[in-house]
Structure 1
Amino acid sequence: MASGIFWATICLLILLGILSLDIMGFFSRGNKFKVEGRTVLLTGASYGMGRELARLLSERGANVILVARDLTKLQAALEYAKSSAKNPSTQRFTIISADVSSESENARLLAEAATWNNGELPEIVWANAGSSIPQLFIETSIETLRQQMDLNYWAAAYLAHKTLKAWLYPNTPYSPKEKSAKLEAPRHFIMTSSATAFYNLVGYSPYSPAKAAMRNLADGLRQEVLLYNGARRSSKSTDQAPAPFDINIQLIFPGTIKSPGLEQENKTKHPATFAVEDSDPEQTEIECATVAIKGLENGNYMTPTNWLVELMRISNLGGSPRDNIIKDTVGQWITSIAWLFIGPDLDSKVWGWGKKEGMQAFKQGK
């Protein structure tokens, strides 16, 4: 037994040493998200994190298609993105007004994007649109519950379905000769989820199930595209070659962002929700967007935008791929113990609020 404990300790120290070196940047992975000269379609681009993402993509040399509903805000976001263009003389920008919660609108915006992009679908598509209406579940109307699912899940699902189908089965099939051709740079389909996909806090039940569903969808899509990525390398001859590029599915998980969206959320947020998230870290829009882009450049499948969401990710990995085997493995050991204290503390705060305020503090369920 003593020998086993000794070697287990040695292995743990080695793991921690490798983790420390990785955190300090000794293991460079290179940029896995090169966007210069490529076209990015970004939904939810008119304000908040989306507006900053458009600017950062412009700063890195991308051609950007900004999508949202409000044309006035879109035009302002367009000018903001263009002002940071890396190559002002060659980069291109446009806007598309669309309600992405509609299936037909997703088809239309992709068609318009392809037409503008010289007949080619953008190489990078980012489903970033979303908004939260935090309320207690039974105090939320069924109409609002459906709207939350439409915008925060179905908008991304519609866009993923139509984008992946168009990438993999274009109107003009790839010739079999392209099987042996050199792979093009990977395409990226990215979805912006939420910290609440990992843990549903009191008051977020109208919103977080949609983001959890998005995460689950991404896990499935990440495996499904491996079929096509593998078929690209097959020696078997068929009438149509697989697409001459790999496809990456990736997720972003923001926490609390200081933005107009947060101000709107706070208008409907239950006092108990404020109580349980009062110590959560907050980020500015640009801080959140910067971390998101950095995670993509590192090649991460899941990118939380602050330390608290990172701990939530590590403790909820399940069968999802590990972006860093050492950190995620050690982190799961630690967070599994931490949740023994975090969970009861959150429950106690909610129970205590109810005990103190009583039923008179609640609305009648609709």
Structure 2
Amino acid sequence: MAKLNGRVAIVTGAGTGIGREIARQLAGEGACVVLVGRRLALLQDAADAINVAGGRAFARAADITQAKAVETLIGWVTAELGNVDILVNNAGSAVGPRNLAFITPQDWQATVDANLTAVYLLSRAVLQPMIDKGGGTIVTVSSGAALRPNMLGGAAYGAAKAGVRNLMGYLHATFRNQMIRATTITPGEVNTPILDDRPRPPTPEERAALMQPEDVAQAVLLACTLPPRTVIEELVIVPTRMRDQSVDIELARWFGAPDGAGSTKS
């Protein structure tokens, strides 16, 4: 028998990469999965693939950095499918320059909103209904940038990902006796489409040695399918082989720099 039969799950950032694979694996264990993101076409394609494979999935486009949009999303899920049993906060992005000296207040806020504010809004929206139902699982995909901040992730992204790690720790410490399982998954580099946006995208050979989306999804699935009496507080996963990131980090240092800023390079 599938371990998540009858459970309702929300996965954010589910149109591509890690989120898409998380949704597929949760559905494979019997969960009814709501795939959330900004690009409806990608979400629908992922949901269709799950449904064709015998699962049950729905695509919902929403700007989860906005409180009203989150309220509307959770209202629809509750009315159509029932209370949320599993929330996977996977969506995230790094906007603009990585170097603190070049990050505009607008780019900082956009990065914090995508990686931290959205997690707060969604977790807040599902928390009390989960408690009233007798428990639930909230899993957030943080980043190795929360533990080892550097130019590759950037100042805003690393700070926001550290923030969600702290938020999940708060949920665990505060609501565990009400059967809320709050888990942080902290992955290192993963071969996803977001790597294409780097100043120097990894080569095919480098990508092959990185973690793959299904690896992170398996970690999320473990957190969701353990018996309710057991919670994973945090799981740090990294590629077995460490690659030289020095060139990537140096390029990231100057990514988005204003004209002439490179002249100050030591």
State the TM-score, normalized to the length of structure 1.
0.59
1:50, CA displacement in angstroms?
0.3
Q: Structure 1 residue aligned with 2:238, among 288, 301, 306?
A: 306
Secondary structure of the structure 2 residue equivalent to 1:251: strand
Which whole-Å CA distance do the structure 1 matches of 2:236 and 2:142 have between them? 9
For the aligned residue pairs, the C-alpha RMSD in angstroms reads 3.4
- Aligned length in residues: 246
Which whole-Å CA distance do the structure 1 matches of 2:70 and 2:12 have between them? 10
The alpha-carbon distance between structure 1 residues 75 and 362, as it changes in their structure 2 partners (threshold 3 A), is same
Q: Is the 8 A contact 1:295 1:303 kept in 2?
A: no
| 1:127-138 mapped onto 2 (5 Å cutoff) | 127-133=89-95, 135-138=98-101
User: Percent identity at matched positions?
Assistant: 24
1:307, CA displacement in angstroms?
5.2
- Which residue number corresponds to residue 120 of structure 2? 157
Q: Is the 8 A contact 1:292 1:305 kept in 2?
A: no
Which whole-Å CA distance do the structure 1 matches of 2:34 and 2:142 have between them? 20
Q: Is the 8 A contact 2:91 2:114 kept in 1?
A: yes
Secondary structure of the structure 2 residue equivalent to 1:95: strand
Q: Deviations over 1:103-146 (max 9, x none)?
A: 111111100110111xx311111111111246211122211110
| 1:34-73 mapped onto 2 (5 Å cutoff) | 34-73=3-42
- Tell whether 2:141 aligns with 1:192: yes
Q: Is the 8 A contact 2:131 2:180 kept in 1?
A: no
Which whole-Å CA distance do the structure 2 matches of 1:214 and 1:224 have between them? 15
Q: Is the 8 A contact 2:145 2:161 kept in 1?
A: yes
Deviates more, 1:99-108 or 1:292-301: 292-301
1:295, CA displacement in angstroms?
4.8
Q: Deviations over 1:226-280 (max 9, x none)?
A: 3x52xxxxxxxxxxxxxxxx2111111122121211112x14x7x9xx9xxx89x
1:152, CA displacement in angstroms?
0.3
Q: Which amino acid aligns with 1:199?
A: R
Flag the structure with larger Rg. Answer: 1
The alpha-carbon distance between structure 1 residues 297 and 138, as it changes in their structure 2 partners (threshold 3 A), is same
Which whole-Å CA distance do the structure 1 matches of 2:64 and 2:111 have between them? 12
| 1:1-366 mapped onto 2 (5 Å cutoff) | 34-85=3-54, 88=55, 92-117=56-81, 120-133=82-95, 135-168=98-131, 186-203=135-152, 204-226=154-176, 229=178, 246-264=179-197, 266-267=198-199, 282-297=210-225, 299-306=231-238, 362=262
1:350, CA displacement in angstroms?
7.5
The alpha-carbon distance between structure 1 residues 306 and 81, as it changes in their structure 2 partners (threshold 3 A), is farther
1:36, CA displacement in angstroms?
2.1
Structure 1: gaps (5+ residues): 1-32, 175-183, 230-245, 310-344
